[in-house]
Every structure is written in structure tokens, then in C-alpha cells.
Structure 1
């Protein structure tokens, strides 16, 4: 049985409704794909606390975590099954340090759907596009 990876990701939007995506470094699993910032939930950690920690570790930024975008998405990748929760988040700082990602971009959900995004991200893009 493939291992289950519990993860969390932030949907960060600017005033125009553009979303922040990061491109995974090529040397990482899923390298070259675009994703929402976030990471794995550690043992005894709530999803929101994990997301706050991951945003500091991966972006160098503090954030406010809001409501869940949609129920957790479960997706089976070749390297394991991911159960990922997506939360709206608002950055309180804007360092956008590249640690896990090689670059960041701000795009509309519609444009993001045409990009090489990780498959588990697609349901979130549908929700965001329908809200605009």
C-alpha cells in the first residue's frame, strides 16, 4: 500500500484575485510542477498550525489562516497518496523566499489551470475560478 501523506496548502490571493503559486525545485518529488505554498503536517500538529509553520519555513512569511477552501483532496501520485487541505491565507509579511520552490508567480485561477500544476491542486482552481 502506498504511504499516505497528510499535507496542507495556502491559497493566497492579491487584491485583484490573482493567486500565488510556487514552482517545485527540479530535484524534489514533483519537481517542475506548480503548487500552492505549504507542506506536510507533522505528528500532533493541527492543519492550521502546520500551515503557519510551513509558510515561515518555505516563504519566510507570517500569515493569517482563514477558512478551508473545500474538503480535503485525496490524490494518488506515483510516490504516494496525498491528503491535502487547502486554506485561504493572508500574508502579513511578503518575503517570498525560495526554499522548496525555484520561483513564484501571481496568476488568475483561469491561467493557473493551463499551467503544469500538481493534480491535487486542480479542484481548488475550479472553486476559485467559479468564485470570480
Structure 2
């Protein structure tokens, strides 16, 4: 059974989004379910800081020993940070998908968009 932290929001494409921080940003990563399905992650292609995300559009790719998968933006916003540690250690996505394996930090165009994402219970039902 996958680990599905209750404090996060989720997408049908298996991305997670943290709660809005005091500085108005969120972190985005892939779920435990996704990393397990992907297998050993060997490369992550992420957008540039300052880039714009459009909800449901691809913002990068994640490559594993099994396949290459698109990463989909859960919300509209501006990329304010990327996890540069993944360049040298992409396998961190497998070992710690909700912690050190985060992908990007985003300043949402509209914080209300976060309400359109799935709760942990909804995501669990989706992946059951």
C-alpha cells in the first residue's frame, strides 16, 4: 500500500502539492504510488526557475529504468525553485518522494486553485 500523507493535495496524474507556505509557495513532487510504478528513477528534467506553469500542461519528464513519463502541472503559477539535488541523485525521488525527492516550488497564480486538487482520501480511492 502506498504512503499518502493526509496534509498534501493530489492529482490524477500522481503529483502531490504541499499546503501554501507563509511565503506563498507550494512544493510539488510525485507520489509514492508513482515512484513505485516507475521503478528506479535515473533522470528528472525540470523547468527553469522563473518559468510559468499552466495547469494540466507538462512541465518536465521523469525517466526510470522502465519508461519516460511526463510531469503535469497541478496548478497555474511561477516556478520559484527546482530541486537541484536531483541532478546528481535522481533516485531520491524513489527513496523519499515526499521529502528530499520534491521536484519544484511554485508560487500559485491563484491559491484557490489548490482547492480543486484531490484530498488524500480521494487520491487513495483513485489508486485503490
TM-score under structure 2 normalisation? 0.32
- Give the structure with the larger strand fraction: 1
TM-score under structure 1 normalisation? 0.31
